[in-house]
């Protein structure tokens, strides 16, 4: 059974999602060039780079490209430098894997301190039952959108999971849901 642990519910959820073999939007570590010339050199070394140049709208002749590559002091127009930067950023971005349907359909068991209103319990500890959530009842749109953009931080994941998965499955709780503990395990 897959399991994610972390100091917050959001961290445990992100760790659990990672066990499904998915990667969020990110940046390729090899893309570190700062100057337009270094970026152009990097882009022209791969098919992905040439495709990014085309998609960004840079259409130059092979002769011009050779001139640019041969001289890093060549006077390139600012608009071309801006296009190069956009192409470089696009090529540097790793597209996200989709959140697997198996994750969204998961029967989540949350172990850790759970609070709703005045009721605060360490769920799943000392023989007590974990908090069980049926992911099929959740609305994953916000979570998936943030995941695709690489903006699904632990805090965002926790907030959206509460709002769009827990509340949609079992309701708002007495005074909302809170996870004030220091360690969580989600399986």
Residue 173 has pLDDT above 80, yes or no: no
Compute the distance between CA of residue 89 and CA of residue 110 in angstroms, rounded to an integer. 38
Q: Rounded CA gap, 96 and 99, in Å?
A: 9
Domains: count for the chain = 2
Q: Check whether residue 36 and residue 59 sit in a common domain.
A: yes
- Please check whether residues 20 and 44 belong to one and the same domain: no
CA gap 133, 131 in Å, rounded = 7
DSSP string computed for 122-179 = EETSTTPPPEEEEGGGS--HHHHHHHHTT---HHHHHHHHIIIIIHHHH---SS--B-
The pLDDT assigned to 175 comes to 76
What's the rounded Cα separation, in Å, for the pair 4 and 112? 12
Most confident of 3-12, 16-25, 47-56: 3-12
The residue among 18, 47, 49, 17 whose CA lies nearest residue 31 is 49
pTM over the 0.85 mark: no
Residue 174, pLDDT above cutoff 70: no
41, 21: one domain: no
Q: How far apart, in whole angstroms, are the C-alpha atoms of residue 42 and residue 76?
A: 17
Residue range 48-52: mean pLDDT, rounded: 85
* Structural domain range at position 45: 26-94
What is the percent of the chain where pLDDT is above 70? 99
The rounded percent of the chain whose pLDDT value lies above 90 is 49
Query: Of 40, 64, 94, which residue sits at a domain end?
Result: 94
Q: Which residue, 94, 114, 142, sits at the end of a domain?
A: 94
More confident position, 41 or 172: 41
Tens of pLDDT, residue by residue over 108-145, are: 999 999 999 889 999 998 889 999 999 999 999 999 99
Instruction: Tell me: do 101 and 182 sit in the same domain.
Output: yes
Tell me what pLDDT residue 27 has.
78
| 110 in Cβ contact with 131 (< 8 Å) | yes
């Amino acid at each position: 059974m897959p399991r994610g642990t972390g100091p917050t519910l959001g961290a445990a959820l992100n760790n659990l999602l990672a066990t499904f073999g998915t990667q969020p939007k990110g940046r390729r570590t090899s893309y570190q060039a700062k100057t337009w010339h270094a970026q152009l050199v990097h882009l022209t070394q791969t098919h992905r780079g040439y495709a990014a140049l085309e998609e960004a709208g840079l259409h130059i002749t092979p002769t011009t490209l050779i001139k640019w590559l041969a001289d890093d002091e060549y006077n390139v127009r600012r608009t071309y430098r801006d296009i190069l930067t956009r192409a470089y950023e696009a090529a540097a971005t790793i597209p996200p894997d989709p959140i697997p349907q198996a994750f969204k359909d998961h029967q989540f068991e949350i172990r850790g301190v759970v609070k709703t209103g005045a009721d605060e319990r360490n769920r799943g500890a000392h023989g007590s039952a974990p908090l069980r959530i049926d992911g099929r009842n959740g609305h994953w749109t916000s979570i998936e959108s943030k995941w695709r953009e690489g903006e699904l931080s632990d805090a965002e994941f926790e907030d959206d999971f509460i709002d769009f998965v827990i509340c949609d499955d079992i309701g708002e709780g007495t005074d909302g849901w809170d996870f004030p503990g220091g360690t969580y395990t989600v399986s």
